[in-house]
Amino acid sequence: MKTLVVMRHGKAMPLEPGQQDADRSLTKAGVMALEARLPHMLRLLETQGAVQIWTSPAKRTRQTAKLLEQALKDASIPLAKRIEVHSCLWEQDVDEFLADLYASGAECIFAVGHIPFAEDIVEELTGSTPSFSPGALGCVEVHFADEETGEGTPSQDNGRLLWFAQGPVAARWNTLVQLQQAITATAEAIEDRCEAFFADPEDIETIHRFRTNIRTLRSLLAFIKPWQNAKQNAETQAILREIVRYTSLQRELDVFEKQARANPDSSPELLAFCKKQASAERSKVRKVLASKRVSKAFKKAMTLAKNIKWKKRYVEYGLSVDVIRARFDKLIASVSSDIASLRLSDEEQTHEVRKRAKRARYVAEFNEAILGTDAIEIAESMMSHQDNLGDKCDARANIRLVGEFLQNDLQRPLAWELTMIRAQNEIFLYNALRESEA
């Protein structure tokens, strides 16, 4: 008697143009699903002897066999020295497989293959016809009529299905993979923006893009907070928050200089003053970001972002699209409610609602594959609100900057021009408030 556990490989990548079928790999979600669920599925196994693993030569079955081997080791189940490759599992040759099974000295064999073979061999031995999804296991007790003469090849009359475990639904882990991909792409963009800033710090767009990507990453991390390891999330957010804080004044000065340059009446002295203020701050930012402490923290934040640790229950059971969409819908409803009840006269509230609109926009833009096609429309709506509120926030920042500039000993013509810029922003803000209250 032998114990045969027939296994279908995990969820595999689709066949690409020009690719051989045997070269297809498991998806990342397929790997995660098997790593999570195999330990639970193997609890059904009862065996005393060493387990032998057989696999077809296809890449996806060999990968599955390695994951199975690790799960068996973790369960302290004794194993044969190596995984054996059997071409009959790829060729789906039932007769040759049964001959190999009969000739094997192993008492318990795991055969990792494909469909329809997995279903055919179980039906051949037991008469049962379970449907194997990716990663499914079917355990069969196989009897041989006469092991000395070789007569009585295993057939439907001498096999019994002991148990069957359907494979995990890889889609639940694919959501985690997609979230990680969005976060990794954002972290890589931040690294590129940082490099671009150091290469050309005088280009005001480099620091702007750097800040935008950091805000995007912070928004994504805030969105996945219920599912991510709490300590990792908090640590990454703290580092990113500090880095953004170092660049905040720089961005305000760049916006102020941009407004001054857009005014055809601005004097060369005013433009030179604005450039000097922005350049001085840019040098400070560059020095801070290049410092050993901040540089080390920045690298750590990028590493953490690229290697998200999910909470144990989501590693084990995955995360459904419905849960993610429900959180997104709740976020959009909350932001929309805040926008509807916003009083533009409240500077702090305006700033906070603008940040929340940004967060909703970034989450929608970077998770369209999970959230659905309407995510882009929602992102565009949030961007419209963000830009609208941004004009008011920029006006307030410009007013504050002029107040700080005028505390210095400036030449009267320059002080007058700065006062006029402040007046322009005050008029804009006054009209915007009147319009919102009408």
CATH of the domain at 217: 1.40.20.10
Of the three residues 169, 203, 232, the one that is the final residue of a domain is: 169
pLDDT of residue 49: 81
pLDDT of residue 153: 57
| Pair 248, 131 in one domain | no
**Helices first, then strands: H and E counts in the chain:** 16, 6
Average pLDDT, the chain: 93
d(C-alpha 25, C-alpha 13), whole Å: 6
| Pair 339, 409 in one domain | yes
pLDDT of residue 385: 92
> What are the tokens at 191?
């690294």
| Pair 345, 206 in one domain | yes
| Pair 295, 389 in one domain | yes
| Pair 26, 107 in one domain | yes
Helix (H) or strand (E) holding 287: helix 268-290
| Pair 94, 213 in one domain | no
- List the domain range (segments joined by +) for residue 334: 172-437
| Pair 103, 235 in one domain | no
Q: What is the pTM (predicted TM-score) of this model? A: 0.89
Residue appearing with tokens 């940082």: 194
Of the three residues 169, 189, 218, the one that is the final residue of a domain is: 169
d(C-alpha 341, C-alpha 338), whole Å: 5
Q: Bridge-partner residues for 228, per DSSP? A: 310
pLDDT at 167 over 90: yes
CB 119 within 8 A of CB 129: yes
| Pair 200, 265 in one domain | yes
| Pair 77, 181 in one domain | no
Residue appearing with tokens 């959501």: 175
| Pair 95, 204 in one domain | no
pLDDT band at residue 438, thresholds of 50, 70 and 90?
A: low
Mean pLDDT, rounded, for 413-432 = 95
pLDDT band at residue 159, thresholds of 50, 70 and 90?
A: confident
pLDDT band at residue 144, thresholds of 50, 70 and 90?
A: confident
Number of domains observed in the structure of the chain = 2
| Pair 352, 411 in one domain | yes
Q: What is the pLDDT of residues 318-328, one digit of tens each?
A: 999 999 999 99
d(C-alpha 156, C-alpha 142), whole Å: 10
Scored b (16 or more CB within 10 A) or e, 52-87 reads bbbbbebbbbbbbbbbbbebbeeeeeebbeebbebe
Of the three residues 142, 169, 196, the one that is the final residue of a domain is: 169
Ramachandran region, residue 18 (left: φ > 0; alpha: ψ -120 to 50; beta: rest):
left
Percent of the chain with pLDDT over 70: 97
**CATH code of 22's domain:** 3.40.50.1240
CB 52 within 8 A of CB 5: no
| Pair 104, 118 in one domain | yes
